[in-house]
Amino acid sequence: MVSREPEIKGPNPSPEGPFQPDLSVEVAGIRMQNPVMTASGTFGYGKEFEGYLDPNRLGAIVVKTITVKPRPGNPPPRVVETPAGMLNAIGLQNVGLEAFLREYLPYLRQFSPPLIVNIAGGAIEEYEVLASQLSQVEGVAGIELNVSCPNLADGLVFGTDPHLLSFLVKRVRQVTRLPLLVKLTPNVTDIVLMARSAVEAGADGLSLINTLLGMAIDIETRRPKLANVTGGLSGPAIKPVALRMVYRVAQAVKVPIVGIGGIMAAEDALEFLIAGARAVAVGTANFVDPASCVQILEGIEAYLRRHQIARLRDLIGTLSTD
């Protein structure tokens, strides 16, 4: 049997020093010192993690979804734990573009990792406003489109219709030169179709997956456990689903993929990287332990050392199916 072990080469340090693997990656033209990013909506605007985690250790910072106008979000209860996961229906509560630029961006700019701003809108024009304004300010390295919200005009969720998705990405593409990531929803019949659609329309990279739709019921009161009735499932429960989707999409498109879904530990992140993700984003784990991203990063580094892999790049997409 032919070994598919990645070759050991690259910037190996002096013989007496410890083996220092190169963790850097490039995603959609964004250079990162390592592949560990934060998943949108789980890292707030960064400030919440002060004292728990040094943002400068991250590969990239992805902040909570911004909309043009502030959104109050959904009434509580908004979160509920489910087996090995959680459901959330926050309702995109956020301060709006203006307050983000004024109050949060200056704080985020002080950190060296690239900042990726996740945006959402109920109409294509809103995405355009967000993308073009974010392109004109200093300190934004890329844009991630949240396409899991319904288009107010026809009620369809942008990310579940390949034509609508293509139209949205093309329009946003025209107003920004910033690297453009599209965060795909798993609530579709064929995610590969959506991935191709986004890439053909000009996406520089794909993030997947967003949460899976789900619900939970209190049998004593016969009421839904979330005020919104349904919500998005995240956490370890969705990891196998996410992993398969990342694997399938990685085989179908050429752009870099950010793997997301239930990454709690370095082992989970490594699975995504081996499946073909260029980087990973950590979500629900940030809620369990605010230092998760750094622990995962250190675990990845230890794995590379243990396997004498000089560059993380040499590990990506090395899944052997023989």
Strand 115-119, strand 142-146: pairing: parallel
In angstroms, give the least distance from the CB of 207 to other proteins: 19
**How many other β-carbons are positioned within 10 Å of the β-carbon of residue 78?**
17
The alpha helices in the chain, defined as continuous H runs, are 97-99, 105-109, 124-135, 162-175, 191-200, 239-252, 266-275, 285-288, 292-306
Contacts of 161 (CB under 8 A, 6+ apart): none
For residue 280, the minimal CB distance to other proteins (Å) is: 17
How far apart are CB 291 and other proteins at their closest, in Å?
10
Nearer to other proteins, 50 or 190 (CB): 50
> Whose CA is closest to 116, among 131, 94, 103?
131
Q: Which is nearer to other proteins, 111 or 287 (CB)?
A: 287
Q: How far is the CB of 256 from other proteins (least distance, A)?
A: 26
Backbone angles phi, psi at 171, to 5 degrees: -65, -40
Catalytic (active site) residue 149: yes
d(C-alpha 63, C-alpha 156), whole Å: 25
Largest CA distance in the chain: 67
- What DSSP string describes 198-254? HHHTT-SEEEE--PEEEE-EETTTTEESSTTSEEEEESGGGHHHHHHHHHHHHHH--
Residue 146 CA: distances (Å) to CA of 55, 128, 243: 23, 13, 19
| Catalytic residue of the set 61, 66, 115, 149 | 149
Positions that interact with other proteins (CB under 8 A): 42-44, 48-49, 52, 64, 70, 72-81, 83-86, 88, 90, 93, 235-236, 264, 284, 286-290
206 or 293: whose CB is closer to other proteins? Answer: 293
Task: Pick between residue 185 and residue 284 the one whose CB is nearest to other proteins.
Answer: 284
The CB-of-76 to other proteins minimum distance in angstroms stands at 5
Beta carbon of residue 123, minimum distance to other proteins (angstroms, whole number): 21
Pick 17 or 72: Cβ nearer other proteins: 72
- Cα separation of 40 and 60, whole Å? 11
- Specify the residue, 176 or 234, whose C-beta has the smaller distance to other proteins: 234
Amino acid type, 95: V
Phi-psi region of 29 (alpha: psi -120 to 50; beta: other; left: phi over 0): left
- Residue positions annotated with a catalytic role: 149
